[in-house]
Amino acid sequence: MRKWFQLAALIGILAPIELVSAHAVVTAYSLKSIPIHAHQADKVELTFNSKIELGLSQVYLVRKGDKHALLKVESGHKQGEVIVYIPALEPGEYAIKFKVFAADGHLTEDIIHFSVS
């Protein structure tokens, strides 16, 4: 009986750890509904499932030839919202590559591909 109690206590202690160790995940982004137009500076809104530490995060524009350019970012009005400023671009294929730290300290890296026309 004592072993069952110890096992139940251990499970009770370890179960919440999974909930605390979540990574920041993009839940929505404006590129899905608002395209970037050629020769116009614009912005992209990324929405994450947790608060982002922007001072420890980086967002890049990736161009043909795997050329990376650091982009300006700022916090949006909602928790987890990040505004990414996109310079005027020529028509073509691009990507936004980000490395963000969630408020809980976990690093998330991902890439979002998009076209400019």
The model's pLDDT over 61-113, given as tens digits with 9 standing for 90+, comes to 999 999 999 999 999 999 999 999 999 999 999 999 999 999 888 999 999 99
- The number of beta carbons lying within 10 Å of the beta carbon of residue 52 is 23
Say what the pLDDT of residue 98 is: 97
- pTM more than 0.85: no
Model pLDDT, residue 10: 42
CB within 8 Å of 47: residues ≥ 6 apart: 26, 27, 28, 29, 76, 78, 80, 81, 82
Q: Name the more confident of 40 and 21.
A: 40
